[in-house]
Amino acid sequence: MCGITGFSNFNKDITSEFNNIVMMNDSLYHRGPDEYDYYKHKNVVFGHRRLSIVDPDGGKQPMQRVVNFHKYTIVYNGEIYNTNEIRDDLIDKGYRFSTYSDTEVVLINYIHYKENCVSRLNGIFAFCIFDEDEKCLFIARDQLGVKPIFYSLKGGYLIFGSEMKSLLKHPKVSTDVYREGILDLLSLGPSRSPGEGIFRDIKEVPPAHYLCVYEDKVILKEYWNLESKEHNLTLEDTKEKLSVMLEKVIKNQMVSDRGIFSFLSGGIDSSLISAIVSKELREKGEILDTFTVDYVDYDKDFKGNEFEVTSDKYFVKLANESIKSNNRIITIKNEDLFYALERGLYASDIPSMADIDISLYLFCNVIKNYGTVGLSGECADEIFGGYPWYLNDEDLKLNNFPWNRFSNIRKELFNDKIKSLDFDSHVENRINETLKSVQFLDSDSEFDKKIRKMTTLNVKWFMVTLLNRKDRMSMANSLEIRVPFADRELVEFSYNIPAKFKFLNGREKGILREASRKFLPYSIIDRKKSPYPKTQSNIYRDLIMKELSRILDNKSNPIFEIIDEKSVRRLIESKGDSYTKPWFGQLMRGPQLMAYLIQINMWLKKYNINLYI
């Protein structure tokens, strides 16, 4: 994977502004420590940081090709899994390739098909192409939003980059946050509205969209969406097709010149990926490396609840006995989660899921000593219905985001100025905007319709939040993590599996469980869903409480612009128990909420945020 950045202005010569692209590109060093380079034109400059995975010599960027005397230049971040298919099609059309990198395939695919090129790509990607003769910058993002791309349009400039920090290095981009950004941060955070970047000047190309910036116009267009289609397969045929598809998708994502590893939690998603990869490698005489996260004294501290049902360690052992990998358990110190809060914030550029993100950051920080390319099990719960809210009647009414059911209760922590903001309407509008694209079939039952809507919300919101987390925390450590369950064709197929099959035997991910039985022991298949583990340590909680108290004792801290001090002190005094509902998702309870407030204060300070409430 890579880091890409650049800016343009078709109304002026920007060659004297080259120092800006150097600073922007340097801010993305972690995304590509292997190489860097630039492209310079009087109206356009690109920067690129490379993490070399495939074709080290041929895949250098920025890459330029000249076809029929027309010049095209690309900076690209991603991995295309149907590269060979697209290359063969383009060769049949008369094009010639000088490398075997997917970068060249993406560029020539655009040269021939223009904006229709993105519909042909199956993979994870974010790229920008300068079409010199058309005077056009074409930016595109993959269908599910695995790879990020942010942009700003200001004063005749287009400014873009893989992370917000790169845009903030450009003098045209401010750190102002207006009302909409504040509403996102406090009523929806750590989610963000699709296409928004919290900062006033920063937008994000939403998943499945492309952006065309010409001299005199800007076009933002959606090129793909979840489409409702009849599912005509029997249950047995559905299981068989899904099983074959899963094996193909996972094998396709093993392409790497630097080896492959996988995450292993003992749940069905990561275990299935690991089993298929391990079998493939064993046939070549190789052993798969797998990695499992743990915390000091986790077994002693663990307390189950409605979401966190079982500890992972026992199931990791069972899974590993079956798949025969070289499993390493990475044990994180609880105090390190606290001390890395600022590093996690810098990786995300906005307040995130606190220690839930930080643990992934620290986990990846150790893994990078063993490998560079890995596979992870994100997205299975969203596309196959793995969360409790898929089978909860109250959640299926969709009066709120099911991972953010108590958005109005959030106001208790904030001052009167924030309480005057309409959290409920902001959330309701976002839900309605998302669901208006959902199509129903005449054959859909009422339950099918509810599941279509629930899946759409999960794919476009919750899944993107988790993908953002995975990208930032892994790339902050120069790791490329791929997510096979975000394969476009797999998502399209799963979306149209009838609910009675999808939740076979009344179980979350019922059809996935059945399709996986040929790969895994039944003890793993039938394990109840348990999320990514978070620390439950009092050591971590006490450090968080102490730090938040220290912040409140200094009235010059910027967090006083938004909080109600009495409510936050009550939260600390109760050791987090006064806020009884998860702030977000399944894991952000009292300690994580206090850490989130600490990160908000850090963010306001370190990023010199100007709030306009």
Co-location of 396 and 370 in the same domain: yes
Active site residue ranges? 2
d(CA 556, CA 604): 12
Which among 477, 493, 525 is the end of a domain? 525
Q: What does pLDDT average to over the chain? A: 94
Query: DSSP label at 42?
Result: S
Co-location of 499 and 477 in the same domain: yes
Q: What is the pLDDT of residue 307?
A: 58
Residue 289 pairs in a beta bridge with 261, 326
Domain interval for residue 152: 2-222
CATH, residue 136: 3.60.20.10
Crossing angle, helix 590-606 and helix 565-573, to 10 degrees?
140
Co-location of 214 and 245 in the same domain: no
Per the domain annotation, does 603 fall within a domain?
no
Measuring CA to CA, how many Å separate 341 from each of 193, 360, 500? 24, 12, 43
Measuring CA to CA, how many Å separate 252 from each of 58, 81, 142, 248? 21, 6, 17, 6
Co-location of 199 and 336 in the same domain: no
E-strand spans in 409-563? 480-482
Q: In 3D, which of 403, 419, 420 has the Cα closest to residue 411?
A: 419
Amino acid letter for position 31: R
Residue 294 pairs in a beta bridge with 331
Amino acid letter for position 127: F
Look up residue 56 and give its two tokens. 């080290």
Q: What is the pLDDT of residue 332?
A: 97
Co-location of 284 and 388 in the same domain: yes
Q: What is the pTM of this model?
A: 0.96
Q: How many domains does the chain have?
A: 2
Which among 195, 222, 249 is the end of a domain? 222
Per the domain annotation, does 591 fall within a domain?
no
Per the domain annotation, does 146 fall within a domain?
yes
Q: What is the pLDDT of residue 577?
A: 87
**204 pLDDT more than 80:** yes
Question: For residues 584, 586, 591 and 596, what is the CA-based torsion angle, rounded to 10 degrees?
Answer: -30
505 Rama sector, left if φ>0, alpha if ψ -120 to 50, beta otherwise: left
Which has the minimum average pLDDT: 96-100, 207-211, 540-544?
96-100
Q: What is the per-residue pLDDT across 494-540, written as a single tens digit (0 to 9) for each?
A: 999 999 999 999 999 999 999 999 999 999 999 987 777 788 899 99
Which among 491, 525, 559 is the end of a domain? 525
Q: How many CA atoms lie within 13 A of 236 on its CB side?
A: 0
Q: Is 332 helix (H, G, I), strand (E, B) or coil?
A: strand
Q: Is 434 helix (H, G, I), strand (E, B) or coil?
A: helix
Amino acid letter for position 148: P
Contacts of 313 (CB under 8 A, 6+ apart): 266, 292, 294, 298, 299, 329
In what helix (H) or strand (E) does residue 593 lie, and over which residues does it extend?
Answer: helix 590-606
Co-location of 390 and 268 in the same domain: yes
- For the chain, the straight-line distance linking the first and the last C-alpha, in angstroms and rounded, comes to 38
Residues composing the chain: 613
CATH, residue 359: 3.40.50.620
Q: What is the pLDDT of residue 305?
A: 59
Q: What is the per-residue pLDDT across 221-264, written as a single tens digit (0 to 9) for each?
A: 999 999 999 999 999 999 999 999 999 999 999 988 889 999 99
Co-location of 197 and 279 in the same domain: no
